[in-house]
Structure 1
Amino acid sequence: MKNIDKKWIYLIILSIVWGSSFILIKKALEGLTPLQLGALRTLFAGTFLLVIGFKKLKTIQKREWKWISISAFIGTFIPAFLFAFAETEIDSAIASILNSTTPIMTLLLGAAAFSIGFTRNQLIGVIVGLIGSFFLIWSGSEVNPNQNYWYAGLILISSICYACNVNILKRYLQDVSAFAITVGQFSVIIVPAILVLISSGFFSEATLQSESLYPSLGYLLILAIIGTALAKILFNSLVQLSAPVFASSVTYTIPIVALMWGFLDGEQFSWYQLLAAAVILLGVLLSRKS
């Protein structure tokens, strides 16, 4: 299969998986605190990856561990907690929309810090997609005026983290297998996740006897294995197959899936948001052209 075909297949799969992640976070928060969710998400995904791919750690060169460690914290560990805290105040669909700022951050950081070039069409594409994202945010605030949009800043910080991460992967880890990168990343952050979990009060009697705990753990297990571990492998492969801006364009299509889940869960949105979703897709197509 040609790389051009693989890129689009990976983009579609990631859009569905990560678009569903936001509703899973929302459901998991019904029985877990944000610290517990972020820690357990990392721990479940890390354990799964180490079981199936421990031998891959031997293929990582000593000089590559520095960048894998940095990538692990800014691309996985920190955003896991930021998204959990953000969704305590804003709808899951809105969180996914705000995440659409990642491509423009990727473009700017790639040019400024990593000397990665971009074309005029790519620039137009991320701008068009970003306009669609802001339109979604505006219309969402009209429908849900009581939401605390200060927490939107946490999503924007995550977008900057993702933008740094995708450029690091492209610049410094291009020749490392996507599977090895992912296993290496989680081997680095699994111990910090355990420490956060212990300090979060998860093992207290009140938490362990809560009726909402175990349904939340079920949602979280799906999120960790499919939405984090397997999706990370796929995303790292996508970065190596394509340009950083195209890879980060998955954040344009994620909100469409997230909006559908939000609607099914009773979250309110308007027809204007559907129109904005179409604008976002146009941005993806433009950023794809060279």
Structure 2
Amino acid sequence: MTTQEPVVLPQKRPLLAWVLLCCLALVWGSSFILIKRSLVAFQPEQVAGGRLVFALLFFSPFLAGQSRQADVRAAVRHRWVALLASGIVGFVIPAFLFAEAGVHLNSSLAGALNSLSPLFTLIIGGVFFGQVLKIRQVVGILLGLAGSLLLVFFSATGSFQINGYALLVVLATLCYGLNTNLIGRYLKHLPAVVSTAWLFAFAGPIALLTLMPTDFLDRVLASQNRWSLGALVTLGVFGSGLMSIFFNRVMQLSSPLFAASVTYLIPIVALLWGFLDGETIYTAQFAGMGICLLGIWLVNKS
């Protein structure tokens, strides 16, 4: 990994950062219901691999144009290790974890657990990236973890038991926290379209390899699967593709922790979709989500 001179220096535009953050919350908050709809026709590994392949297809024209630019080729060559690591940690692994969890969890619960991302961003930043932690941030981390325990230990029926599939979402948010720090340290100064396109240039082929032994193409071509396919394409093109550009741009305009704070709003959007879809949310799960969000607020409080 390298910290060579940036290709393009970012300009500070706080208002733009907030606008992009709201777009991220709306689309990523809808990702959980899209996963649920995709799973109607596709297997979990097909949903995970498919969304990444569709994202790669979305970025293919960008990659073709960027490959002809000498400065972009040099930047990618200097940062290929960081791009590969970020593609695997931030996209490949979480995609499979969320798809598997989506078979067994309400989409609203998965969205609530996703709020752990900024807490793991801060923990990993403090432990491995030299970020100084304040007392209130430590308190916020502890509150967030306490809230997550409520979400993990209450199953979809509201009874008290360990929900192993919820732990898959927790692991995915841990990956997100690590990836946010990787991007902030090693890829922040690349133009957002460049860094995101090349992340999928590495992640997409890996996903394609996982789809090849399956009947993914047959399911794609089956007419009765068109709604699930539409959900999967939307998940890949918008959720994994366009919004990843927005996320990287937000980090250029602000900080990794601010970008991770999109999870303030994601649970609200996910909860709304879950309610419209007839999902039951129990009191303990509301309490867990509220405690998580309180912890995130303390972490980000100036």
| Aligned equivalent of 1:108 | 123
| Aligned equivalent of 2:178 | 164
CA RMSD of aligned residues (A): 2.6
Q: Alpha-carbon deviations, 1:225-277, whole Å to 9, x = none?
A: 11111110111122233332332222343112111101111110135544554
Offset of residue 177 of structure 1: 1.3
Mapping for residues 249-268 of structure 1, pairs under 5 Å: 249-268=261-280
2:152–2:164 contact (8 Å) kept in structure 1: no
1:30–1:212 contact (8 Å) kept in structure 2: no
Offset of residue 278 of structure 1: 4.6
Report the Cα distance in structure 1 between the residues aligned to 2:123 and 2:288, rounded to whole angstroms: 23
Task: Tell whether 2:85 aligns with 1:75.
Answer: no
Q: Alpha-carbon deviations, 1:48-90, whole Å to 9, x = none?
A: 1122453335413422111011101110111111111111111
Which stretch shows the higher mean deviation, 156-165 or 109-118?
109-118
What SS does structure 1 have at the residue aligned with 2:79?
helix
1:253–1:281 contact (8 Å) kept in structure 2: no
Find the partner of 2:250 among 238, 241, 259: 238
Report the Cα distance in structure 1 between the residues aligned to 2:160 and 2:225, rounded to whole angstroms: 27
The amino acid of 1:233's aligned partner reads I
What SS does structure 1 have at the residue aligned with 2:265?
helix
The amino acid of 2:30's aligned partner reads S
Offset of residue 141 of structure 1: 2.9
Report the Cα distance in structure 2 between the residues aligned to 1:146 and 1:28, rounded to whole angstroms: 29
In 2 relative to 1, CA 142–183 (structure 1 residues): closer, same or farther, beyond 3 Å?
A: closer
2:12–2:253 contact (8 Å) kept in structure 1: no
The amino acid of 2:238's aligned partner reads I
| Aligned equivalent of 2:137 | 122
| Aligned equivalent of 1:27 | 37
Report the Cα distance in structure 2 between the residues aligned to 1:245 and 1:126, rounded to whole angstroms: 13
Task: Tell whether 2:19 aligns with 1:9.
Answer: yes
Offset of residue 41 of structure 1: 0.5
The amino acid of 2:278's aligned partner reads G
What SS does structure 2 have at the residue aligned with 1:141?
coil
Offset of residue 178 of structure 1: 1.4
In 2 relative to 1, CA 280–244 (structure 1 residues): closer, same or farther, beyond 3 Å?
A: same
Which stretch shows the higher mean deviation, 18-27 or 252-261?
252-261
Q: What are structure 2's unaligned runs of at least 5 residues?
A: 1-10
| Aligned equivalent of 1:181 | 195
Task: Tell whether 2:99 aligns with 1:84.
Answer: yes
| Aligned equivalent of 2:217 | 203
Q: Alpha-carbon deviations, 1:172-211, whole Å to 9, x = none?
A: 112111111100011112222222111122235xx46755
1:56–1:179 contact (8 Å) kept in structure 2: no
Q: What are structure 1's unaligned runs of at least 5 residues?
A: none
TM-score by length of 1: 0.87
